[in-house]
């Protein structure tokens, strides 16, 4: 097994993104290792890259961008029990790093990708769905009528 992977990263705020070789993560305590097949592109990605949100989201540079993905479980870490190697999954990372070949993700952030939904469309759903849910629930109580 190789110990490196490709990833899209930035080395400085406002700098160009580049494809680079970085260390490949392992499935640790609780996370699963996902082979990324597709990653969503969101407004937060360019805001992070440009440094517009560095007060709220300071980065350890260089940083791999991307906050949502779809892919296949490659390995399951100790303590993870919801998924098995080969399961198709999608979800938000809860941080950055989706623009890489592999990502270690807490299994609580993932769901199984529904049959019939391709990876490109699956990767575009998580952040939009969370934003919609938060908008509905933070705007006020939802009730009949």
Domains with residue ranges and CATH for the chain: 4-138 (3.90.180.10)
Q: Which two tokens stand for residue 66?
A: 């991307």
Task: Tell me the C-alpha distance between 144 and 102, whole Å.
Answer: 43
Comparison of pLDDT for 40 and 15, the residue scoring more: 40
Taking every pair of Cα atoms in the chain, the longest distance, rounded to a whole number of angstroms, is: 57
Neighbouring CB atoms inside 10 A of 106's CB total: 17
What are the DSSP E strand ranges found in the chain? 4-10, 18-23, 31-39, 63-64, 68-76, 88-92, 102-106, 111-112
Q: What is the pLDDT of residues 23-58, one digit of tens each?
A: 999 988 879 999 999 999 988 888 989 999 988 888
Residue 2: exposure state from Cβ atoms within 10 A (0-12, 13-18, ≥19): exposed
- The SS3 of residue 117 is coil
Q: Which range has the worst mean pLDDT, 39-53, 112-126, 127-141?
A: 127-141
pTM strictly above 0.85: yes
């Amino acid at each position: 097994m190789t110990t490196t992977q490709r990833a899209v990263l930035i080395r400085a705020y406002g700098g160009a993104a580049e494809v680079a070789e970085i260390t490949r993560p392992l499935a640790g305590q609780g996370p699963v290792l996902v082979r990324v097949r597709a990653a969503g592109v969101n407004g937060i990605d360019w805001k992070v890259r440009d440094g517009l949100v560095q007060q709220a989201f300071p980065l350890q540079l260089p940083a791999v961008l991307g906050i949502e993905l779809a892919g296949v479980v490659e390995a399951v870490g100790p303590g993870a029990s919801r998924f098995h190697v080969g399961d198709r999954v999608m979800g938000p990372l809860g941080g950055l790093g989706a623009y890489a070949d592999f990502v270690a993700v807490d299994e609580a952030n993932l769901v199984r990708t529904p049959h019939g939904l391709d990876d490109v469309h699956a990767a575009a759903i998580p952040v939009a769905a969370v934003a919609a849910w938060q908008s509905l629930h933070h705007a006020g109580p939802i009730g009949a009528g």
